A and B are shown apart, each in its own frame.
Chain A
Amino acid sequence: MSKHVVAAVSDLPAGSRRQVTIKGRPIVVFNLSGEFFALVNRCPHQGAGLCEGEITGLVTSDRPGEFHVSREGEIIRCPWHGWEFDIRTGQSWCDPSRIRIRPYPVEVAPGARLVQGPYVAETVPVRIEEDYVVLEV
């Protein structure tokens, strides 16, 4: 595992997502109201790029005809078949114990601590005070 800078925090505002490729792996990074999460950008069902999916809440119901929306912005739906995944854990809503997207650890690190990676090399000179989103892959 090594650490990779994928974006400046200011480039990934709350509610947004970004696709990156690290070590040849497509990964999508999400900012959920200031918390960062990352998933492999590949639906475990048929391989669609999740980054193109809709971000929604979780719709549940206590009884027929009633709709309850919670966790607004924390669910991503596959752009093809609509499978729902928890952005925080990668687990599918329908079969959380068996179907899951691989999540990656994400942290926010101050720019001054970073010493490697092309992103740092290109941007440090102009944005040295920024915080960076760092993926561990």
Chain B
Amino acid sequence: MSATTLPRTEAAAETRLRIVDCDVHPAMRSAAELDRWLPPRWQQHRRDYGLRLRQPFTSTYPYPKSAPALSRRDAWPPGGGPPGSDLDFMRQQHLDFHDIEYGMLQPLSVRGMDERVPGFAEAVSCAVNEWQHDDWTAKDKRLKGTIAVPGEDAQAAVKEIERWAGHPDFVQISMVTRALEPLGRSRYWPIYEAAAHFGLPIGLHTLGTSGHSVAGGGWPSYYYEEHQAVAMSLAAMTASFILEGVPERFPDLKLVIIEGGFGWVPSLGWRMDSHWTALRSEVPHLRRKPSEYLQANFWFTTQPVEEPENPEHLRKLIDWIGWDRLLFATDYPHWDSDDPRYAFKCQMSEAEKRAIFAGNAKAVYRL
């Protein structure tokens, strides 16, 4: 009588797969926690003015989320504080429970690249990095930090990258995906140059308040639209990287796109190629077909995983992208997170599982 769609896929003990989770969200108990790492001048500024973003509200999202703190309702730590703010509870509910070998931190709530006041943008980025180190990566070696940068000021961003490059706890550089300008623009290139120089991937977690609507037609009415349109915004961002020539100029640069799913990836390549046939004279700096850069320089985290009606379509989709391009991510503790045991509704070989759940990430991040 049971007509569930949930397959029983628990791995047997002898083939136990340790997981690299490429999207884990630590949270501060409150923004005041930031003060521990802010100079007094900016502590005062934070209290008086707070973050200045390009959105209508001081701290609430313009599209109210579907759950408090956009989180799973079972992720609130029993000891208080918002989901993701209690390392012990994160260990118990997530890291230990799923036997996570490495968890890639993605701090979201305070981000320097989104801040409008330049000096504060630098101070916040710096403080977020110190916080990741002191409260997370130093306390649990499974966790790896991302270097937050005040990305709208490339020089200041490079300074922050240089401060952390080589530190074993920091494995990538974090930029918002909704920036002031298309991310392929040359104003951001010093960041990419530093990233390529230090061998650090750029982790592009879907985020940001650019002041522009999520996709081309204008401002949607509903969170339902905004949430789904994230994939559209990432496709446009990726096109900018490629068509402006970033991977052409920095062939070793690794770009990891986080929390966009991956269903949109192949068709972006096909559409770029179909238009490049006629319009290649406009972008003579590209020496290869646009889709070739997509296949060479980009990786994609899997959450929110695609769920076609026919599971075989998921396999075909991954064939088109490449089994070496996907990095598993849960997005813990957010409401739309994926459970590693059940997220993929298709059959996978042991080798395919190892690649997506761990191997690809270890290669990209050199873990």
Interface residues of A, Cβ cutoff 8 Å to B:
40, 42-49, 52-54, 79-82, 98-102
Contacts and interface: CB of A to CB of B under 8 A. Distances in A.
Given A48-B74, A54-B73, A102 B66 contact: no
Contacts of B341: 47
Contacts, number: 55
Contacts of B5: 44-45, 98-99
The 8 closest A-B pairs by CB, nearest first: A79-B73, A44-B4, A102-B2, A52-B74, A46-B339, A46-B342, A100-B3, A44-B6
Interface string B1-45: 111111000000000000000000000000000000000000000
Contact of A46 (B3, B67, B343): B343
A81 to B, nearest CB: 6
Given A42-B6, A44-B5, A101-B4, A49 B74 contact: yes
Contacts of A99: 3-5
A47 B2 contact: no
A81 B339 CA distance: 11
Most buried by B among A40, A46, A54: A46
Residue among B6, B339, B341 having the largest count of chain A Cβ atoms under 10 Å: B6
Contacts of B1: 102
21 contacts: A42-B6, A44-B5, A45-B5, A45-B342, A46-B6, A46-B338, A46-B339, A47-B6, A47-B339, A47-B341, A49-B74, A52-B73, A53-B73, A79-B74, A81-B335, A82-B67, A82-B335, A99-B4, A99-B5, A100-B3, A102-B2
B337 interface: yes
Contacts of A45: 5-6, 342
B337 A80 contact: yes
Given A46-B342, A98-B5, A82 B66 contact: yes
A118 B343 CA distance: 37
B309 to A, nearest CB: 9
Contacts of A44: 4-6
Interface residues of B, number: 19
Interface in B333-355: 335-339, 341-343
B293 to A, nearest CB: 34
Contacts of A98: 3, 5
B280 interface: no
B289 interface: no
B76 to A, nearest CB: 10
Contacts of A49: 74
A47 B4 CA distance: 10
A80 B72 contact: yes
Contacts of B72: 48, 79-80
A130 B2 CA distance: 32
Contacts of A54: 73
Contacts of B338: 46
B255 to A, nearest CB: 28
Nearest to A99: B5
A110 B71 CA distance: 42
Contacts of A80: 72-74, 335-337, 339
Contacts of B3: 98-100
Contacts of B339: 46-48, 80
Contacts of A40: 2, 4
A49 B75 CA distance: 12
Interface string B237-255: 0000000000000000000
Nearest to A91: B3
Nearest to A100: B3
A74 to B, nearest CB: 19
A133 B111 CA distance: 52
Nearest to B5: A44
Nearest to A95: B5
A79 B343 CA distance: 16
A44 B3 CA distance: 9
A72 to B, nearest CB: 19
Contacts of B67: 82
Nearest to A53: B73
A100 B73 contact: no
